Amino acid sequence: MDSTEPYQLHVFFFPLMAQGHLIPFVDMARRFSSHGVKVTIITTPLNACLFSNTIDRDKQLGLDISIQLIPFPSEEAGLPKGYENAGSFPNFSAVALKFFNGLSFLQQPFEELLQEHRPDCVVADMAFPWVTDVSAKLGIPSLIFHGTCFFSLCISDSFRRYTPHENIKSETDTFVVPGLPDQIELTRSQLSDDLKKKTDLSKMMERIRESERKSFGILVNSFYELEPAYADHYRTVVGRKAWHVGPVSLSNRNIADKSERGNRASINEHAWLRWLDSKKPNSVLYVSFGSMARLTATQLLEVAMGIEASGQSFIWVLRLNAEDSEQRRITEEFEKKMEGRGLIIRDWAPQILFLDHPAVGGFLTHCGWNSTLESISAGVPMITWPLFAEQFYNEKLITQVLKVGMSVGTMEYQRVGGEKALVKREVIIKVVEQLMGVGEEAEQMRSRARELKEMAERAFEEGGSSYADLTALIEELRLHPRPTV
Ligand code: UDP
């Protein structure tokens, strides 16, 4: 290397094997690589298949990016072979504990790779809290990725600091989350069990927080202008170093990258494109509950009836429980009835391509952070239907702070095996008509969504806030002492 050239950093990226983490990780890794960093993504064989074409294309363009395989510990974790991704299990909640406990078996192969390659930095998923210690042993700084926004990280911090939910008896009374820049209210019923009692998950969350405290800082898939008060609050009040590098989905610039992102779509690209091209701008509602959630047959029926009665054109991405014949029957009948008016896609859709299409004017979403930010980046307002994880927090950001969404009003965190309160068709009809209609509130949301889209693009471009934060991080890592040999 020419001695005048800056030192080329080598960064390991180690994502959790779940689409909501793997996808932004790959986008982020590619972003680092486009800034001249040598990048190695560590994952298991079946997960690598989900994005290896994209990496091959990057390599052909001259980027220094590659994949390192480690075996998935199916046997050690007591899981069936052939399932290496949280979203691939027919019923993930039934095996979640085994899956997360099994991740500790990845420590040894990961440590061997660290010893062999001695990268300058590791970006690890929060699900691998041991990475911070094993990296530190070799003098390698580690960054943690949670996969969510500053807003939700600040809410989680407030729960730990002030435990406001512990003084509330009722599950359904609202209470204020203290210490935040805005007055945000939640109910106990919207919180995960690990906040309310000691569970295996709450113990794991404690380990995660400990590893975060010892890490070099966190990476956030967001942009400063989206949530400035919360980005500042996180850095000053929570008191951790953080770099915002998003929206990382904007790393996907060509059709091939967009259409293969996360998986191969189960629909022919030209078929849906022709269909969407035939629709008026902002006239199609996109419906998807992400890569993990599955609705019950009764809930699917309410959604189907609600969409039908609303008269709305739509694309609905369905993830069914393979063993439930009732789910199949309901959705097949619905598909036949809706031919021409709606498109049903099974299993996997090219989401960012859909959201970017001018015909798509609304997104009925479960408020997973990736989907939320992708909708914002595409200028598409949302109907919010949170189910679990931090989705109820994200909903508040969408509806209350950014004001680019309307809620269906779900109040209950979806628990494993628990009874789920139904969202009735009447509610769905009303909110779909409101969001997709011509009323003043909907017009204002569309206009705010367009502004946020422009802000997102500016933040990501050269000179923008996310671009600048990434450049600053790379510079800081260059100045960090090299790993010990
Ligand atoms: N996704 C997709 N096609 C699908 C379902 C999901 O491309 O049919 C992508 C979506 O664009 C997002 C990710 O999968 O990047 C889902 O992450 P999110 O945080 O929204 O929800 P999760 O799946 O983690 O619940």
pLDDT band at 417 (very low <50, low <70, confident <90, very high): low
| Tens of pLDDT, residues 9-32 | 999 999 999 999 999 999 999 999
Say whether pLDDT at 215 is over 80: yes
Say whether pLDDT at 5 is over 80: no
Contact criterion met (CB below 8 Å) for 241 and 218 = yes
Q: What percent of the chain has pLDDT over 70?
A: 97
pLDDT band at 204 (very low <50, low <70, confident <90, very high): confident
Say whether pLDDT at 142 is over 90: yes
Say whether pLDDT at 216 is over 60: yes
Question: Could you tell me where the beta strands, DSSP code E, fall in 116-250?
Answer: 121-125, 142-145, 174-176, 185-187, 217-220, 242-244
Q: Which of 27, 120, 125, 257 is catalytic?
A: 125
**Residue 138: other Cβ atoms inside 10 A:** 15
What is the pLDDT at residue 152? 98
Question: Could you tell me where the beta strands, DSSP code E, fall in 366-454?
Answer: 382-384, 405-407
Which protein residues are within 6 Å of ligand 1, measured from CB? 19-20, 23, 261-262, 288, 290-292, 317, 348-349, 351-352, 368-371, 374
> Would the ipTM clear 0.90, i.e. be above it?
yes
- Atom index in ligand 1 nearest the CA of residue 289 equals 25
| Ligand 1 center to 370 CA (angstroms) | 6
Mean pLDDT value across the chain: 94
DSSP H helical segments within 311-390, as ranges? 325-337, 351-356, 369-377
Query: In Å, what is the CA distance from 424 to each residue of 215, 414, 417?
Result: 45, 16, 20
Q: DSSP letters of 131-155?
A: HHHHHHHTT--EEEE-SS-HHHHHH
Contact criterion met (CB below 8 Å) for 393 and 421 = no
> Listing from the earlier edge strand, what are the strands of the sheet with 242-244?
65-69, 38-43, 10-14, 121-125, 142-145, 217-220, 242-244
Say whether pLDDT at 112 is over 60: yes
> What's the CA dihedral at 249, 255, 257, 261 to 10 degrees?
70
CA distance 396 to 422: 21
Fill in the DSSP letter of residue 394.
H
Q: What is the CA radius of gyration of the chain?
A: 22
Strands 174-176 and 65-69: unpaired
What is the pLDDT at residue 4? 63
- Atom index in ligand 1 nearest the CA of residue 291 equals 23
| Tens of pLDDT, residues 66-109 | 999 999 999 999 999 999 999 988 888 888 889 999 999 999 99
| Ligand 1 center to 20 CA (angstroms) | 5
| Ligand 1 center to 134 CA (angstroms) | 30
Question: In a mutational test of the pocket of ligand 1, which residue from 23, 85, 261, 356 has the highest number of ligand atoms less than 8 Å from its CB?
Answer: 23
Query: Catalytic site residue 21?
Result: yes
Fill in the DSSP letter of residue 302.
H
| Ligand 1 center to 390 CA (angstroms) | 14
What is the pLDDT at residue 359? 98
CA distance 416 to 426: 26
Q: Say whether 364 sits in a helix, a strand or coil.
A: strand
Q: Phi/psi class of residue 253: alpha, beta or left (left: φ > 0; alpha: ψ in -120 to 50)?
A: alpha
Beta bridge partners of 383: 364, 406
Strands 242-244 and 313-318: unpaired
Say whether pLDDT at 2 is over 60: no
Query: Catalytic site residue 125?
Result: yes
**Residue 150: other Cβ atoms inside 10 A:** 25
Say whether pLDDT at 419 is over 70: no
pLDDT band at 428 (very low <50, low <70, confident <90, very high): very high
What is the pLDDT at residue 137? 94
For the entire predicted model, the pTM comes to 0.97
What is the pLDDT at residue 271? 81
What is the pLDDT at residue 181? 97
Q: What percent of the chain has pLDDT over 90?
A: 84
What is the pLDDT at residue 426? 97
What is the pLDDT at residue 58? 97
What is the mean pLDDT of the segment spanning 30-44?
98
What is the pLDDT at residue 485? 65
What is the mean pLDDT of the segment spanning 188-208?
87
Max alpha carbon distance in the chain (Å)?
68
| Tens of pLDDT, residues 444-466 | 999 999 999 999 999 999 999 99
Query: In Å, what is the CA distance from 220 to each residue of 31, 155, 193, 318?
Result: 13, 15, 25, 29
What is the mean pLDDT of the segment spanning 156-172?
94
| Ligand 1 center to 373 CA (angstroms) | 11
Contact criterion met (CB below 8 Å) for 245 and 224 = no
**Whose alpha carbon is nearest atom 3 of ligand 1?**
349
Beta bridge partners of 315: 286, 343
